[in-house]
Structure 1
Amino acid sequence: MSLHADAVEVLTAWRPAQREQEALRQAYLGFLAARPDACQRSCEPGHITASALVLDATGERTLLTLHPRVGRWLQLGGHCEPSDTTLAGAALREAEEESGIRGLRLDPTPIHLDVHPITCSLGVPTRHFDVRFLVRAPVGAQPVRSAESVDLQWWPLDAMPSNVDDLYPMVQAARAQIAR
């Protein structure tokens, strides 16, 4: 199965609890139907990306990266690569690359969607259609900062940095998924 086919399958099966997430899910499916290249970075109108909200083993802290170009604390994630065959696999790959942590466990059901404008590596204004997954780190996991990050830190879910307001809906969705 191709990454594009997996994205369609995953988003067709997923049923978010929030009305705005359902509207985004439908928009993603429309975008995927219109663009066979929707999962490729070269798709200039926008492209599907995959990210991971990495929680520690207790579920009380999240691992955030201080993104060098954006200058904000964000969840781990990024572009899908030609070798990726699933969205969940892309999110897990990004989480492992950016955290240096092995043994991460990913829940293959998305927790949140977000579309945001960005000028990425092509140098052209575009949009990221981000599909976000919940990832759990093993007990005692110690992250190792990669070249893709200015800083990498565990943050208590109730005391994240002040400039991450847009991450709270994703954190709430993760907590709801854990509670199920």
Structure 2
Amino acid sequence: MAGQLKLGGSKGEIKAVPILDMQKDGQGFKPIFDVFEEIFDNVRDFPVAIICIAGPFRKGKSFLLNLLAHYLIENQSSTWFKKGDTQPAKVFEWKGGVERNTVGIHITNKPFILETSDKKKVAVFLMDTQGMFDTKTTTKDCSTIFALSTLLSSVQIYNLTDQIHENDLQQFEVLPYYH
């Protein structure tokens, strides 16, 4: 897609908001429907595209989405990451370490309004998922996150570091078959 980026929706900074959150008892998830209504209300007249990154926990999904957000905020400029920038945009929360940070599914509170090459406007949202297969997440929870994010997204990126190993494929294989 080419063209200028304009942040849609109400004024204020773009940030990630949860649309699927862990139940208070830690057993399963609950959708947050009022957030859906609020963020999609302003784009009823546009086609919507959702770019999602899923994958194992602690592999940089939120950081990668922040890089993409930074690129979009900078209007897809060839100089989108300027000299002196030490961090990408802080749209999605991330931190170093071994403990998970994202729980559930988070999406940008506003779309990036982009133009296609034939001048049609598209509302683009970025979506982040809880990392899969951490010590606090059951296979059922992983399946729920993966299934919902796949159904909601226009593009689902499965993020891995390094090479694809056999255990990555074995974990990935479990997701569609779990009931």
Q: State the TM-score, normalized to the length of structure 2.
A: 0.29
Q: State the TM-score, normalized to the length of structure 1.
A: 0.29
Larger Rg: 2
Higher relative contact order (CA 8 A, sep 6+): 2
